[in-house]
Structure 1
Amino acid sequence: MRATSAQLAALSTDDPEFQATATSWMFTVLDVGHAVLELREQLATIPKVWNDAEDACQSVVDGIALLFDSPTAAHLAAARGAVDQAVSVVREAARSKRAPREAHTKFERMSGYLHFMRVTLAELPTPVHTDAPEWLQAFLARR
């Protein structure tokens, strides 16, 4: 937490509103990042026979990384689309009669992480500006 505070202070010591925006954004990134880590942990434990679920979830991880690295409208749309696709694939895997019971539990957990990401990404404003501070201001305005 101290490292996060130091990063915020380095961003803009003269603009408390921008610091509040950046704080909100950082917590969003941390929350989604945690969900990504949990999703990857679940992926590591499912049998390789579920390649479709693994591929769909990896697309989510890649899309979110790209969005957080470079927030653009196209990257946000791609991340949202990847999450929607992964939700469908994981839902189908969970409903499959060939999935053992422990796999159903893992797919349910994965589905929960994906739904959290879906809701969080749906709440983000579309980054219409390439200027990160302007997008962060739009992000804060939604709160």
Structure 2
Amino acid sequence: MLTPVIDPDGAPFWQYAAQGELRVQACADCGELRFPPRPCCPHCQSLASEWRAVSGNGRIWSYVVPHPPLLPEYAEQAPYNVIVVELAEAPRIRLVGNLVSEAGAPLNSRDPRSIRIGARVRFVFDRSTGLPQWVLERP
């Protein structure tokens, strides 16, 4: 199983996610939400930042279904999906994850043919892998 590479700027994202909370970095001066996390605000160049809770609601902006050859850790789960989610509070922020049937479900728990661009999703966290996942708001 692959694990996330955690750098100092992004470490709080993973700490909050492990608690089941979706937070994104925000500029402490101008308030602009940003992702991926970075030391400087791209809007006002401030170095002050904070982590703000967001609802975890969004919509599927794009997706892909990887086909073999795959990394060995994922080959047995194919076919599975990788989705890009546009956050409701910040449409310029897009997060990558997997659409699953329920929190902690395998990557291949949803039929890839059922995925639709624009479908509303919400954030869940898979404690066994340490990765964010997404479920449909209305399965």
Higher share in helix: 1
When normalised by structure 2's length, the TM-score is 0.20
**Which one has a bigger Cα radius of gyration?**
1
With a CA cutoff of 8 Å and minimum separation of 6, indicate the structure with the bigger relative contact order.
Answer: 1
